[in-house]
Amino acid sequence: MANEQRPPRIACINDLSGYGRCSLTTAIAVLSAMGVQACPVPTAILSKHTGFDRYTFTDFTPHMGAYMADWAELEFDAVYTGFLGSAEQIRLVEGFLAQQRARQSTPPHVIIDTVMGDGGKIYPTYTPDMCRLMRRLVSHADVITPNVTEACILTGTPYSGEELTTAQARELACRLYELGAGAVVITGIVREPVLCNLVYDGRELYFDAETRTERMFSGTGDLFASIVSARLAAGGSLPEAVSLAGSFIAAATRYTLSLGTPAMEGVCFEPCLSRLMHPQSQEK
Ligand code: PXL
């Protein structure tokens, strides 16, 4: 739990994509707006995210071990992981989690955003060995936030689109939960006319619904996991965190649609950040 003398502190292990609003640029902005100290561990440095036709990619794996070892005396209220670019990085994250657990009497919240794919396709950087290690990594999480594609990959379920019946969604959530995380949130399930996030903690299962907008934007998964991580680190409950994340993304997406910017540029969330500044006062 956060030390009352300072803001909550989160280690954010994710890539830095210079353009396109995702991963660390999103996490740092959102956490800061929510009064949480964002401490980044870059996994890779890209000029733009991989949805663009052209980008540069610099793998940060060789530097991550020393970087995180240098943090051995620091204590984090949460560890939040996103895009991991190699099998070695997944092992390094496991080591960092073990280091943090060994240090602290109250272990950190662990939020693993299983960034592995989208739209039924696995990202080209993801190898079968990384999938195996990611299945192992999620067993250390308090909360995992896969989209439907990632939920299918993790559970070996054939992907048949983002639209799921209640029975299919329940089956997917139960199979994910069996991988060992404390709670599972499957994001972006289409249940016309709404878009849902399914929450399952081994006891309760429910859908948190938002109005569906006509277009989808990249980086919404990063917004979602960042908001959930910040609320949990600040002592909020998972249902409250999921509801805040869903309503923020819906509002910021509607605003972005009104601007007419390209989907690749992500959600223009910056002018909306004030909605996150006092989340307790935000009603749906
Ligand atoms: O938003 C997920 C994400 C994170 N990091 C990189 C990406 C993407 C999605 O395309 O390319 C580098």
pLDDT class for 281, splitting at 50, 70, 90? very low
Distances in Å between the alpha carbon of 185 and those of 101, 136, 139, 204, 262? 23, 17, 14, 12, 28
- CA dist 31 and 230 (Å) reads 6
> What are the structural domains, with CATH classification, of the chain?
9-276 (3.40.1190.20)
Pocket lining: 25 vs ligand 1, CB cutoff 6 Å? no
Give me the residues paired with residue 122 across strands: 117
Give the pLDDT score at 280: 54
Q: Could you tell me what percent of the chain has a pLDDT over 90?
A: 90
Tell me the CB-side half-sphere exposure of residue 248, using CA atoms within 13 A: 35
Nearest CA to ligand 1 atom 1: 219
Give percent of the chain with pLDDT exceeding 70: 96
pLDDT of residue 3: 52
Asked if residue 198 lies in contact with residue 242, where contact means CB atoms within 8 angstroms, the answer is no
Asked if 238 contacts 109 with a C-beta cutoff of 8 angstroms, the reply is no
Q: Is the CB of 187 under 6 A from ligand 1?
A: no
Bigger pLDDT: 278 or 39?
Answer: 39
Please give the pLDDT value at position 225. 98
Q: Is 247 in the pocket of ligand 1 (CB under 6 A)?
A: no
Q: Does the pLDDT of residue 283 top 50, yes or no?
A: no
Q: Euclidean distance between the first and final Cα of the chain, in Å?
A: 27
Average pLDDT over all residues of the chain: 94
| pTM check: above 0.85 | yes
Confidence of residue 263 (pLDDT cuts 50, 70, 90): very high
Pocket test for ligand 1, best of 53, 60, 122, 218 (most atoms within 8 A of CB): 218
CA–centroid distance, 12 to ligand 1, in Å, is 15
pLDDT tens sequence across 136-172: 999 999 999 999 999 999 999 999 999 999 999 999 9
Tell whether the model's pLDDT for residue 180 goes beyond 90. Answer: yes
pLDDT higher for 212 or 269? 269
Q: What is the pLDDT of residues 5-31, one digit of tens each?
A: 899 999 999 999 999 999 999 999 999
